[in-house]
Amino acid sequence: MKKGILLVNLGSPDSPDPKDVKKYLGEFLMDERVIDIPLVARTALVKGIILNTRPKQSAAAYKKIWWDEGSPLIVLSERLQNKIQQQVEQPVALAMRYGSMTIKKGLQELVDKGVEEVLLFPLYPQFAMATTETITVLAEELRQEFFPNLKIESVPAFYNKPDYIEVLSNSIKGHLEGKNYEHLLFSYHGVPERHIRKSDVTKSHCKIDGSCCVTPSKAHEFCYRHQCLEVTRLVAEKLQLQEGTYSTSFQSRLGFDPWLQPYTDRTIERLGKQGIKNMAIVTPAFVSDCLETLEEIAMEGEEIFHEVGGKSFTTIPCLNDDQEFVDLLSNWINNWVKKPEIAG
Ligand SMILES: C=CC1=C(C)c2cc3[nH]c(cc4nc(cc5[nH]c(cc1n2)c(C)c5CCC(=O)O)C(CCC(=O)O)=C4C)c(C)c3C=C
Ligand SMILES: [Fe+2]
């Protein structure tokens, strides 16, 4: 059976024009795994409220980070794809969950090359229903409707794989070499607390308190909060970071529901007010630099830090097309290619 690989990232608008941003946000926020409320309420909230104000504001932010070649997230994902393709014999396609580079087109591209078995690779280290799950569910729906003979196997969240932790730690270490910093903040994209409870397979474990994420449970396989805290813990262990010199926070909240805490903006402010003058920040929920890292962290975050007396603010880039990361993903893919075909 001929095999192929489909890498999938989040997506971006076609341009930073408010019209394109509105179209993109409309698709993104109407996803029931992103804003997980009943359709009528979601439509009223997204189309009646958010899409009337947010596109203009988001478009201005996108304009600040847009590259000549296009959206950083898309360009960086394409660079990753091209580098992986150099190390993998089978066709490697790229798609986005939202926007023009659809998963349907990605699957079609592979099928047109004769592929019968696909490795679906969501580019997210941690599981979330708003990221990994929405990709795998949509791919399965598309398979049933348009590609019934295709076999699809999905790559699960890889947050605690030792070789991933090593690559991430090496990248952090490399970018901090020679830098004078007193605190390293691990900032992950936030999700509403409700998402964590919904993904709890035990239906009772996730209390979102000080202990549930460190108490062993089957729930952790699908717990975004546990997986983020684990990345911080494993990297801190690998880099031998001293207790008190690093912490975890969650960024990019939207709306009024409680989201995972502590919030990144408030944490940066607190660190500055506590007298930290030099801080560094890493964003391990994102494989590719994007609006949320280049604008919200590197621009807004730095501004907050300076306002409260901070001096140097070092933003560590995402793994992007870092050669060690390319080698890691290519190695996982080549191991999958060598495996016998999946059943049925
Ligand atoms: C309810 C809203 C949102 C949830 C839940 C959410 C989860 C989530 N998102 C990412 C990764 C990215 N999000 C990005 C942008 C972005 N996210 C939301 C909302 C939710 N995200 C919005 C409205 C936007 C658009 C920008 C804005 O208006 O602020 C991006 C950047 C895309 C780009 O083009 O650069 C990424 C990447 C994760 C990992 C996640 C859950 C774990
Ligand atoms: Fe997001």
Is residue 331 one of the residues assigned to a domain? Answer: yes
- Residue 338: what pLDDT? 95
For 117, the token pair is: 């078995």
Q: How many helices (H) and strands (E) does the chain have?
A: 13, 8
Residue 140 and residue 95 share a domain = yes
Pick from 71, 249, 254, 259 the residue to mutate for probing ligand 1's pocket: most ligand atoms within 8 Å of its CB: 254
- Residues near ligand 1 (Cβ within 6 A): 10, 12, 25, 34-35, 54, 58, 71, 73, 124, 128, 130-131, 189, 191, 224, 252, 254, 285-286, 290-292
Report how far residue 33's alpha carbon sits from residue 226's, in angstroms, rounded to the nearest whole number: 19
Dihedral sign (CA 49, 52, 57, 58): positive
Q: How close is the Cα of 90 to the center of ligand 2, in Å? A: 31
Q: Are strands 246-251 and 3-9 parallel, antiparallel or unpaired?
A: unpaired
Ligand-binding site membership of 133 (annotated): no
Q: What is the DSSP letter of 263?
A: B
Residue 164 has a pLDDT of: 98
Distance 294 CA to ligand 2 centre (A): 13
In this prediction, residue 342 carries a pLDDT of 64
Residues 311 and 185 in one domain: yes
pLDDT of residue 203: 94
Q: Please report, as a single letter, which amino acid is at residue 338.
A: K
Compute the distance from residue 43 Cα to the ligand 1 centre, in Å: 18
Identify which of 204, 247, 223 has the alpha carbon closest to the alpha carbon of residue 133. 223
Closest ligand to C-alpha of residue 12 is 1
Supply the range of the domain harboring residue 57. Answer: 3-158+323-338
Residue identifier of the C-alpha nearest atom 38 of ligand 1: 189
Same domain for 82 and 222, yes or no, is no
Summarised one tens digit per residue, pLDDT across range 245-296 is 999 999 999 987 899 999 999 999 999 999 999 999 999 999 999 999 999 9
Report how far ligand 1's centroid is from the alpha carbon of 30 (Å): 13
Q: Are residues 225 and 309 in the same domain?
A: yes
Residues 144 and 187 in one domain: no
d(CA 329, CA 243): 31
**Number of the ligand closest to the Cα of 99:** 1
CA 262 to chain centre: 18
Query: Can you give the CATH number for the domain in which 215 is found?
Result: 3.40.50.1400
Q: What is the pLDDT of residue 343?
A: 62
- What domain count does the chain have? 2
Residues of the chain with pLDDT under 50: none
Is 92:4 a contact under the CB 8 Å cutoff?
yes
CA of 252 to the centre of ligand 2 (A): 7
Q: Tokens representing 331?
A: 């190695």
- Which pLDDT score is estimated for 331? 98
Does 119 share its domain with 207? Answer: no
Both 191 and 302 in one domain: the answer is yes
Q: Annotation-wise, does 189 bind a ligand?
A: yes
Q: Cβ–Cβ contacts within 10 Å for residue 344, how many?
A: 4
DSSP state letter for 70? B
Could you tell me the pTM of the whole model? 0.96
| Residue 311 and residue 278 in contact, taking contact as beta carbons nearer than 8 Å | yes
Looking at the structure, do residues 248 and 126 belong to the same domain, yes or no? no
